[in-house]
Amino acid sequence: AGVWSDLTPNPKDHEIAAGFEKYAEHGCDVIVAVGGGSVIDAAKGVAILAANGGDILDYEGVDKAHMPIPPLVVVPSTSGTGADVSQFCIVTDTTRNTKITILGRALVPDITVIDPRLLTTMPEWLNAATGLDALTHGIEAFVSLGHNQLTDHHALRAVQMVTDNLVQTIERPDDMSARVLMAQAALEAGLAFTNAILGAAHAMSHQVGGLLDLPHGVINGILLP
């Protein structure tokens, strides 16, 4: 077993390559990711390389990774990205300064452990930013052409929970009831968008984030209106 933490927000292609080297060096066969969306996306990227080899940028698009990935357990420490239940992996291509999307059902983690107490470890700006990400997920999933009754249910619940609880968690960081509901909002927004897909705000935010390496949730909050 080994621990790898040499990662920055908006995971970069070379960071995922380094993570895979660490995975192979230690002879690992399971990945446990503890952190926010960047950590979970990086873990998915390492898992893709562990099973399929090559360069992570080779897998841009839908179902490009054909071999099953190693078991993946994730423990989200933010309340917004939905990466812990999604079929997406977002990676920054540092040559083109853009974000690529890797999409496939195999990328949904095998086990997600949600502990709202971890959310109190976030700085408040990150709490706000990831909450805006969850809000954007809910709204975009609801208006998506790929929506259905099930995704609508989760999307609307997520929007309501963020509306009711995000400010509360900022003003009273130790309010665990609000933290629980924000964790649930992130989960339900993730379930909605991974099935209904997202929209224009995310399409633009990924390009801005890839170019300027800015916090994803902050960009969404600016673009969503």
**pLDDT at residue 95 above 90?**
yes
Rg of the chain (C-alpha set):
16
Q: Are 121 and 145 in contact, with CB atoms under 8 Å apart? A: no
- Quote the CA–CA distance of 110 and 147 in Å, as a whole number: 24
Q: What is the mean pLDDT of residues 81-102?
A: 98
Strands (DSSP E) contained in the chain are 31-35, 61-62, 72-76, 88-93, 98-103, 111-112
**pLDDT at residue 7 above 90?**
yes
**In CATH, what is the architecture of 13-112?**
3-Layer(aba) Sandwich (3.40)
Task: Give tens-digit pLDDT for 144-157.
Answer: 999 999 999 999 99
**Class in CATH terms, 119-224:** mainly alpha
Q: Are 76 and 84 in contact, with CB atoms under 8 Å apart? A: yes
pLDDT at 1: 86
Measured in Å, how far apart are the chain's first and last C-alpha atoms? 45
Share of the chain above pLDDT 90, in %: 99
- Quote the CA–CA distance of 161 and 114 in Å, as a whole number: 16
- Quote the CA–CA distance of 145 and 136 in Å, as a whole number: 16
For the chain, domain boundaries: 13-112, 119-224
Q: Which residues contact 198 (CB under 8 A, 6 or more apart)?
A: 136, 137, 140, 141, 144
Check if 13-112 and 119-224 are the same fold: no
Reported pTM: 0.96
Average pLDDT, the chain: 97
Under the phi-then-psi rule, with left for phi > 0, alpha for psi from -120 to 50, and beta for the rest, what region is 126?
A: alpha
- Identify the band that residue 2 occupies on the pLDDT scale cut at 50, 70 and 90: very high
Say how many C-beta atoms besides its own lie within 10 A of residue 53's C-beta: 10
Task: Provide φ and ψ at 89, rounded to 5°.
Answer: -135, 120
Please report the DSSP string for 182-205 in residue order. Answer: HHHHHHHHHHHHHHH---HHHHHH
